[in-house]
Amino acid sequence: MRTYLAAALVAALTGGGIAVAGPASPASTVYEAEQASVFHGTVDADHAGYTGTGFVNSANETGAYVEFAVHATAAGTAGLTFRYANGTTADRPGTVSLNGAVAATPAFTATANWDTWAATTVAVTLTAGTNLVRVTSTTAGGLPNLDSLTVADGSTGGGTDWSDAVVDSTMRRFTPSSVGGWSYPVALYLMGQYQVALRTTDPARRAALIAYIRAWADRFVDSSGHISNSFTSLDSMMPGQVMIAMYRETGLAKYRLAAKQIHDRLAPGGGYPTTNDGGFWHATSSSRAHQLWADGTFMADPFMAQYGHYVGDSAQSYDIAANQLIVYASHLQQPNGLLKHAYDESRAASWADPSTGLAPEYWCRAVGWFGIAAIQVLDLIPPDHPRRARLIAILQNLVRGMATYQDPASGRWFQVVDKGSRTGNWTETSCSAMYTYTVDAAVKRGYVPASYQSTADAGRTGELNRISLHSDGLTYLTTISVGTNVGDYAYYIGRTQATNDFHGLGAFLFFAEESFH
């Protein structure tokens, strides 16, 4: 547990930095790389910052490896943290095998130079006795310089509380004024931070986390509860969740009125346009008219369910949230359980099939948005809600599809979900967090059989293999698709793969809070 000075709260409210300490870890064992078995490499000491007596500099070739003999007193989960330096501008990927079986494929992303050390963590299950952990290069560039392997007990990745680490890193990188404007990716991250605050037991830390979120919210809502936004898209509605969260925390009318402004836009009489069967258009602009995007379910439906639960008008808001999910699924969900990215009732969009109106592909994050929305709405509507059984059936079909298309090698999911074998496709971090969250939550709540837990477990490992703690004390979450419109296969796989994009950070917090807390 961390101790925060009162100044931390003041700093958050005024836009200053918040002092943070590193996440606590259990007892761990460090294995120096220079003491491991090395195949095609040398032990060097010509770069600063290493521990022990040196580091392993592998040959620039495919197949070079470093193998550690790790002892475990009993079988159980553990985090393997590799400390490395990569002074090039390209990844130096490798495979991590445990007792001969591939456990992970870390990217070993570039560090600032060869004197800058980073860390990446792999979650594994050790057997009692001696375990052979081998790191093997998979490209002609060879491995990065390997300094050490730290082995720590715990299923959360070496004992690190990754939720805390991500939140602390983000608050160090950005003030409430610089973190970003009124947008759904920023609000997604802030709602993830809010979940961390809700389970935090340290009062001072909780206050600092909430104060940061509130300082952001206060940039957009005036003292009378008005937000200067015309709300012409579902994306613009999603930050309303932050207003509801701040109303829960403070009881102040201005946050309730801000949320009501968005609620009333979506409620009957609010004028927000719908398809003939009642589905909210993704946006009112001519380029989005008549269209339902799976993304939009998360932008509007959890907000409406939260409004009903925490603010008022429960029956109407619950009905709207549930009905939207059902209408969207009626158009987008296919027999394989997945959802096409979008549907155009008018068939006017260039991507729309002239017969069905559907987009051509299953884009991974669009499917993930729907999964999170379904879980959150089911968490809030009453047990006897008349549409509950239908929502659960939709979710069950979705989980089946997610399990079918999970990448068995990494535990993650592909950018174009059902085409993992096609050239150029890649496993994407934000959707993998969302799918793992959805499957894990569905198992815990009894919506799907416990046999799906293996899907969630593999997803958890795959997601943790995308995050690392660098020598600057900050987390780095990699391979996140930037914001995306509706397109074809080439468009999706060509999207920029970003590090620390808010789509990924927010999704990661949702996943980590569900999986580990």
- DSSP labels, 248-293: HHH--HHHHHHHHHHHHHHSTTS---B-TTSPBPSBSSTTTTTEEE
pLDDT at 95: 95
Task: Identify the DSSP state of 47.
Answer: S
Task: Identify the DSSP state of 307.
Answer: I
Quick: pLDDT tens for 80-103: 989 999 999 999 999 999 999 998
- How does residue 26 score in pLDDT terms, banded at 50, 70 and 90? very low
Please, what is the average pLDDT of the chain? 92
pLDDT at 159: 60
- How does residue 13 score in pLDDT terms, banded at 50, 70 and 90? very low
Find the distance separating the first CA and the last CA of the chain, reported in whole Å: 15
Using alpha carbons, select from 143, 196, 201, 136 the residue that is nearest to residue 170.
196
- Rg value, the chain, Cα: 24
What is the average pLDDT across 167-172?
Answer: 96
Predicted TM-score (pTM) of the model is 0.79
> In this model, does residue 489 exceed pLDDT 90?
yes
Quick: pLDDT tens for 201-236: 999 999 999 999 999 999 999 999 999 999 999 999
pLDDT at 152: 78
> In this model, does residue 11 exceed pLDDT 50?
no
CA distance 89 to 95: 20
- How does residue 123 score in pLDDT terms, banded at 50, 70 and 90? confident
Q: For residue 117, which amino acid is it?
A: W
> In this model, does residue 112 exceed pLDDT 90?
no
What is the average pLDDT across 413-436?
Answer: 97
Q: Are strands 76-85 and 118-126 parallel, antiparallel or unpaired?
A: antiparallel
pLDDT at 253: 98
pLDDT at 154: 53
> In this model, does residue 30 exceed pLDDT 90?
no
Per cent of the chain over pLDDT 70 is: 93
Q: Would you state the structure tokens that stand for residue 7, as one six-digit string?
A: 């100044």
Quick: pLDDT tens for 426-474: 999 999 999 999 999 999 999 999 999 999 999 998 998 898 888 788 8
> In this model, does residue 393 exceed pLDDT 80?
yes
3-state secondary structure labels for all residues of 69-96: EEEECCCEEEEEEEEEECCCCCCCCEEE
Quick: pLDDT tens for 35-89: 999 999 999 999 999 999 999 999 999 999 999 999 888 888 788 989 999 999 9
pLDDT at 72: 85
* CA distance readout (Å), 216 to 177, 194, 286, 479: 6, 12, 31, 27
pLDDT at 517: 82
